[in-house]
Structure 1
């Protein structure tokens, strides 16, 4: 039998490098640059951006309940029970299909049946002139030149409209009131029709007239007193709608505007969409919709 030492000698000849070579080699992963790894794990944004609307959103009128003028006035007067018919007013809202960044409708209208307002009008005219006398007779609350200029410079602006007689325009410009009246929209100018020759007729039109301006695709204006009859309201609404359609026609070359909805409301009532009819088959007698509530 061989001695154990004779068996150990061949094993001692196996060196460490031989053992290392006998080990199976594992595949090595190549190192990738940081930029490549980052791009590989980045998720691409597949969501599409919402398209921004360039027009105002309008509701589908097929789903809205619509009323004749007599029926709408009937419901509105029910909401105004106990209110003073001379203080509460009917208001008309005309919603337009229009671009957001386009020109807006702005004008003045004298209704067939004027709505009573507490409009305060200032007239720039020589105190002793014929224009000043006409202005006072027509209902102007403040008339003059130097006294009016000093009052405005002191910051006292107790009027809602300001017009100037053409003979006083140069004196008005020298007074330098543009910084005070300009931001308030009260500075008279020929462009806005507030520098005139006929002061009396202009003041009368302002007292009995109404201004309207499109805001956010809607034109609003007081259309009548609560004591008006349906016939008077019909005449005022027709006159107002004709004026708006005329304004739209003048803008046809610059922008496309269309009337989408006409809503009537009052000081204390919700709005009622009109269907264009005067009265329906089950409407009450229009004579019952005038006078005290």
Structure 2
């Protein structure tokens, strides 16, 4: 974190020993006041869940559309032919192709935030498993990225839809907007993200599901959110 001003130091002291709980709106306000980076920082959320993702029945993964968008321009590649390819381009896809796109990605051009494919193209896409898999970009029908409706999938990716996936320690991280967003926009994104996680509660989850929620920025401290403001956990 960058060097703090006197005002920011007083705010850090207000956070106490990092055990204090804050309301969602108060946490966002504090992070705004603590902002030190010159660029528009991302508001990050982290949730500690009562799951062990090593067990298949405790995996938490899915998609959520943030109503206020992400503040980022998502670069989308689509594997499709014919009318489907035209629909993807019309929806705003950055690159559409088949064997040519395969070769381009094999050459190392993987600067995409989302890769989408029509079902008939998975024979080609499957050859990219070792490249796309580690980056979390492999199209998946459960996530809506293998679909005949590629135009809608592209619009969703460009319109604020993000993927979430629990990590080994039972933690989910996500960016839910920029600090330049209004309080209302950030709160709407926060609620949408948390609601999606709650609805994705796996059958194998035991005990308390949502155990901790923290908010932070790219270069700011973490602030713990009072779970009393969160429903359904």
- TM bucket (normalised to shorter chain) is 0.7 to 0.9
The TM-score, its normalising length taken from structure 1, stands at 0.63
Q: CA 1:147–1:69 in 2, change beyond 3 Å: closer, same or farther?
A: same
- Structure 2 equivalent of residue 37 of structure 1: none
Q: Are 2:116 and 1:163 equivalent residues in the alignment?
A: yes
Q: Are 2:190 and 1:237 equivalent residues in the alignment?
A: yes
Q: CA 1:184–1:263 in 2, change beyond 3 Å: closer, same or farther?
A: closer
Distance 1:218 1:146 in 2: 37
- Structure 2 equivalent of residue 274 of structure 1: 225
Q: CA 1:187–1:262 in 2, change beyond 3 Å: closer, same or farther?
A: closer
Distance 2:194 2:26 in 1: 19
User: Contact 1:79–1:268 (CA<8 Å) still a contact in 2?
Assistant: no
- Structure 2 equivalent of residue 136 of structure 1: 89
Distance 2:52 2:132 in 1: 30
Distance 1:267 1:125 in 2: 36
The 5 A counterparts of 1:167-182 are 167-170=120-123, 172=124, 176-182=127-133
Distance 2:54 2:138 in 1: 26
- Structure 1 equivalent of residue 146 of structure 2: 195
Which string of whole-angstrom CA distances, capped at 9 and with x for unpartnered residues, describes residues 54-83 of structure 1? xxxxxxxxx921112232222211221462
Distance 2:112 2:205 in 1: 35
Give the match's secondary structure for 1:197: coil
* Superposed structure 1 runs of 4+ greater than 6 Å apart: none
User: Contact 2:212–2:227 (CA<8 Å) still a contact in 1?
Assistant: no
The 5 A counterparts of 1:66-145 are 66-81=21-36, 83-84=38-39, 87-99=40-52, 101-102=54-55, 103-126=58-81, 129-145=82-98
Q: Are 2:165 and 1:213 equivalent residues in the alignment?
A: yes
User: Contact 1:124–1:144 (CA<8 Å) still a contact in 2?
Assistant: yes
Distance 1:100 1:187 in 2: 19
The TM-score, its normalising length taken from structure 2, stands at 0.77
Aligned length: 207
Larger radius of gyration: 1
User: Contact 1:69–1:277 (CA<8 Å) still a contact in 2?
Assistant: no
Which string of whole-angstrom CA distances, capped at 9 and with x for unpartnered residues, describes residues 129-164 of structure 1? 232222123221111113212223334333232211
List gaps (5 residues or longer) in structure 1: 1-62, 279-293
User: Contact 1:72–1:274 (CA<8 Å) still a contact in 2?
Assistant: yes
